[in-house]
Structure 1
Amino acid sequence: MASNYFGVQAAARALAAARNIHRDGIAPTSFNQAQLNNAATRTLARSGNMIEDRDLALEVSNRMLKINASIDDSIIFVQQHCSVEEIERFKMAMGEVMYKVFEEALIPIYKKHPDLVPKGQRVSGIND
């Protein structure tokens, strides 16, 4: 899959884009600035040991990263074929999906198995 960054970074970029869109007057649909700022802390506080087995956790982590890479590729495709308004709506929706994959699947896995965080990636509260 052609992607110029890991899904974890894509989620962060999508959230940054959401913040910029919000500042430009287009309100995000299902999360606000406070939620964005506190998401990692909330997730670490509430997430349990989702997957105990390291090998299974690795497989799930790889699959989640592929989901984010696929979404990233879809965003690139939409940017090449859609109007500015459609692109922004799509990026917002995909940013939310990527954020949920990261918050609800990857963070709990990385909390239990910090060695599975992709090399070169910093995940706040886990490997920083």
Structure 2
Amino acid sequence: MTFSYDLSTTRGKVRLLVKDTNYSSQIFQDDEVDAFLTMESNVVKRAAALALETIASDEALTTKVIRALELSMDGPAVARALMQRADKLREQADKEEAADEGAAFDVAEMVYPGDTFGYRERLQNEVLRDG
């Protein structure tokens, strides 16, 4: 069982978002976190969302309601909270990716052959857009 927590790595960032930061009570092994990163194309927030979904599905299946030392944990409520957190991380990743891609919108201008005025106007517009 290997466990490492280094915030300069993508693995460490996933662990931070999942709150899997304590060696003595680790949730995932390094290989598992790396697998989440691989499955989610090395996008940290998406990998963390997948890890949270994995925890939520396991929690929901194995513990309906646990009572220990007069404390109670509602397994399904914990699972719902984890799924909501996973959804939030995916939304953040979507917004970041959209911002990186120019909000998934681009401009395509058409210039007809021989239209020198249209060509100059297109070049001027391109300079204005690109700064």
TM range (shorter): 0.3 to 0.5
Larger Rg: 2
TM-score relative to the length of structure 1: 0.32
Bigger fraction of residues in strand: 2
Query: 1 or 2, which has the higher helix percentage?
Result: 1
RCO higher in 1 or 2 (8 Å CA, sep ≥ 6)?
1
TM-score of the two chains, using structure 2 as the length reference: 0.32
